[in-house]
Amino acid sequence: MRVVIGADNEGMELKEWLKGKLLQKGFTVEDKSIQPSENFIASTLAITKDLKKHPESLGIAIDKYGAGSFIVATKVKGMIAATVSDERSAYMTREHNNSQMITLGSAIVGKELALNITIAFLGATYSGGRHQIRVDMLNKMG
């Protein structure tokens, strides 16, 4: 699976650690912030731009609290994203909402929790069915 990841200055340490763990687990990782982005807007837009070109990929944006990256991601037409701080929410946003991206707060989650959240998100599959009505509504917004 191809994972697109990026961070601002505040999320860089967690991003680098998480990237290493994902590579060890065999994921293909596209890093959109080799150099730290000064703000979450630039790093998040780089991720969403890539995800629009590669809809089979999933994305992770990291900033200090996760909320800023979430706001940016959801401004992009057709992008379904969630800011999460636990494994169950990460799994469910993928399974029920077909989220293509999650955002993490480096000041909210530690390294191990960030990894567990990421693995839950990447391991989930969209279940479709009754959830497709909501996903269609989300995709028409903006």
pTM (two decimals)? 0.92
127, pLDDT greater than 90: no
Q: What's the pLDDT band for 31 if we cut at 50, 70, 90? A: very high
Give the separation between CA 142 and CA 135, rounded to whole angstroms. 13
Scan for tokens 């839950």, then name that residue: 120
Domain 2-140 indexed as CATH 3.40.1400.10: yes
Helix (H, G, I), strand (E, B) or coil at 70: helix
Q: What's the pLDDT band for 142 if we cut at 50, 70, 90? A: low
Closest CA to 126 of 101, 92, 102: 92
Edge-to-edge strand order for the sheet containing 28-31?
A: 28-31, 2-7, 58-63, 101-105, 81-83
